[in-house]
Amino acid sequence: MNYDWIIGLKSELFTTLIIVVLLLIKLGKGMRNGSLLQITQLLLLVNLALAFGWNGNGYLFGNMFQASQLFGFEKAILIAGVYLLILVNHQWLEKQEHLPEFLVLMLSALLGMQTMISSGNFLMLYLSLELATIPVAAMANFDLDKKRSSEAAMKMILSSALSSGILLMGISLLYGATGTISFEALPQALKADNGLHLLSLVMIFAAFAFKLSAVPFHLWTADVYEGSPMPVTAFLSVVSKGAVAFVLTSTFYRAFQPMFETWYQLLAIIGLITIIIGNLFAIRQDNIKRMLAFSSIAQVGFVLIGISANSPAGLASVIYFVLIYVFSNIAAFGVAAVIAAQTGSEQISDYKGLYANNKLLTWIMALALFSLAGIPPTAGFFGKFFLLTAGAVRADFWLVIIAALNMMVSLYYYLRVVRNMFNTETAQPTIAIPVTVKLGLYLCVAGILITGIAGWIYDYIAMLNR
Amino acid sequence: MIGLEHILFISTALFFLGIYGFLTRRNLITMLMSVELVLNSVNLNFIAFHKYLWPSGMDGVFFTVFVIAIAAAEAAVAIAIIINLYKTHRSILVDTAEELKY
């Protein structure tokens, strides 16, 4: 009897185990929310440790599922993201009446993302993409009696249903043109100058661009982010986006490799437009969630430029960037969640005078925003630097120059938040930070600083990629 | 004799009818039905390609079965969300849900 499949599937199996445990607790006598959260955190930590060790390379279920060290690391980033998210949003989660359901939905989406990363076949990709999307729409509706929440969920489920319809049309045309949907067999069958192949590439990319909220397909993002509860917004913008970025690399680098010339142009142009539009719209936002939504659109543009490099360096820089992005964005959302829990406001203009009595919160937010903007001592600078270096390999320097200029534009709206917080004209009362939230924020800060300073992290990712 | 072209014609027409319906209708249930049209056109495509072009592999048939199952799951969640939207807005027209914009 061969037990290799357990090693290949260990992250997925363990996530399923957590889901089953939560369901059993829900079916049984139930539990206080505090202890339920502690159990989930503990199990997620075990899962994270498992994801780092014993990673084998191999194929399972007739090439449907691929396990490798690199995929193991990508899954570890996602699990760490969910763990930090639960820590940082402790206040909101603890108040929920239906906490077990919320956690089950969130972990199901995580399970979908893990299988999505490992998928070696478009059937598997489609199934896991849906598993990663449908629960998130249900999560967006979790503030059941709020108008905004149900509007956000409606917008999300309808537009994601249409986008998966377009993805399916692309896959069906690909199947008709080549007779295969497996990532292994597609490179031999695809031709760069075949019209049907091009059409299916564009349709599949459109669906990915929708999930990533790249520009022509970004309109749902800000509305859904603003209407959803804060943990869901953070989950959508951090974990879900990171997962789709990973899948985009593995799909394009493997299945669509022969059409490289075409998708290079596609990614470069869409990436550039995404950065510009994301930045321009972020400037005029006053709601912190909406501002972070447009900022995440702009960040996705940088990721697309990194992916367009089509090199091992491109892949490594994308993974490195997502790792930093997880830390910085969760720290920003965490501080926003603490402030919203206390003052009930999500407006940037209400952050005035926060520094007077909340020095810790202000500094964490400032650090997170500096990292998102890409200012040198923080990790965000190195993330963007590697992405742009990888993108510059093709010698399209105008691309890199416009992207770099846009980093300056982005400074305006990030620093506006910081300036508001350091405003000395007014002073806000002290905001209490619970211990768990503090722990989560400290972990994020440590992540932002250490991933930037420790060069071996990037080397480690590049080594896994070999 | 019905050939591949006939079926592809039907499925393409269904696909664009679905997209058209999704973009023009104001009722959420009708929009959901339009999405189902899109998914069904894809099913037709898969079966037709399997029958006429690639009868040796089973990829197309399997894909269709999974698409039907997922479409049901998606519709279940979407209808739950629409029912809740009716509770909060007292209407299932998209125009009434316009609080979030710009």
pLDDT score of A141: 92
| Nearest beta carbon to residue B100 from set A176, A181, A227 | A227
User: For residue A124, which residues of chain B lie inside 8 Å, CB to CB?
Assistant: none
Are the C-beta atoms of residues A212 and A241 closer than 8 Å to each other?
Answer: yes
What is each CA distance from A451 to A321, A335, A376, A456, in whole angstroms? Answer: 10, 20, 12, 9
Verify whether the Cβ–Cβ distance A162 to B38 is below 8 Å.
yes
Asked whether the beta carbons of residue B82 and residue A175 sit closer than 8 angstroms, the reply is: no
SS3 A466: coil
State the DSSP H helix or E strand holding residue A313, giving kind and residue range, or none if neither. Answer: helix A312-343
Class of residue A365 by CB neighbours under 10 A (exposed 0-12, middle 13-18, buried 19+)? buried
Name the residue in chain B with its Cα closest to that of A140: B81
- pLDDT at residue A274 in the model: 93
Instruction: State how far residue B29 is from chain A, nearest Cα, in angstroms.
Output: 10
Q: How confident is the model at residue B102 (pLDDT cuts 50, 70, 90)?
A: low
Q: Tell me the C-alpha distance between A294 and A282, whole Å.
A: 5
Maximum CA pair distance of chain B? 54
Q: Is A411 exposed, middle or buried (0-12, 13-18, 19+ CB in 10 A)?
A: middle
| H or E segment and range at residue A60 | strand A58-60
Does B84 contact A144 at a Cβ distance shorter than 8 Å? yes
The structural domains of chain B, with segments of one domain joined by +, span 4-96
pLDDT above 80: residue B93: yes
What average pLDDT does this structure show over B16-23?
Answer: 94
Determine whether A102 is exposed, middle or buried from the number of CB atoms within 10 Å of its CB (0-12, 13-18, 19+).
Answer: buried
- Give the pLDDT score at A446: 93
Kindly list the residues from chain B whose CB atom is less than 8 angstroms away from the CB atom of residue A141. Answer: 80-81, 84
Q: Which domain holds residue A266?
A: 4-464
Q: Provide Rg for chain A, Cα atoms.
A: 21
Only one residue has tokens 């650090």, namely A367
Location of structure tokens 């190195």: A382
* B22, B94, B100: residue with CB nearest A226: B100
Residues of chain A with pLDDT under 50: none
Answer CATH for B4-96 from 1.10.287.3510, 3.40.50.720, 3.30.70.270, 2.170.190.11: 1.10.287.3510
The answer to whether the Cβ–Cβ distance between B63 and A127 falls below 8 Å is no
User: In the prediction, which pLDDT does B33 show?
Assistant: 93
The shortest CB-CB distance from A147 to any of B38, B78, B89 is to: B89
Which residue stretches of A308-434 are H helix?
312-343, 359-373, 379-391, 397-421
Min Cα distance B1 → chain A (Å) is 20
Give the A-side interface with B, CB within 8 Å.
123, 126-127, 130, 134, 137-138, 141, 144-148, 150-155, 157-158, 161-162, 164-166, 168-169, 171-173, 175-176, 179-181, 222-223, 226-227
CA separation for the pair A281, A268 (Å, rounded) = 20
Length of chain A: 466
Angle CA(A351)–CA(A355)–CA(A356) in degrees, nearest 5? 115
Is B22 an interface residue toward A (CB < 8 Å)?
yes
Using a CB-CB cut-off of 8 Å, the residues of chain B touching A173 are 45
Q: Tally the domains of chain A.
A: 1
Integer Cα distance of A171 and B63 in angstroms: 10
User: E-assigned strands of A61-217?
Assistant: 65-67
Question: Nearest CA of chain B to the CA of A432: how many Å?
Answer: 30
Interface test with B, best of A101, A157, A286 (most B CBs within 10 A): A157
Q: Do A144 and B85 touch (CB under 8 A)?
A: no
A352 in Cβ contact with A362 (< 8 Å): no
pLDDT, one tens digit per residue, over B75-89 is 999 999 999 999 999
pLDDT at B2 over 90: no
Q: How many helices (H) and strands (E) does chain B have?
A: 3, 0
Pairing of strands A65-67, A58-60: antiparallel
Number of H helices, E strands in chain A: 21, 2
| pLDDT tens digits for range A312-323 | 888 999 999 999
pLDDT over threshold 90, residue B14: yes
Using CA atoms, how far residue A360 sits from A300, A364, B47, in Å, is: 29, 6, 60
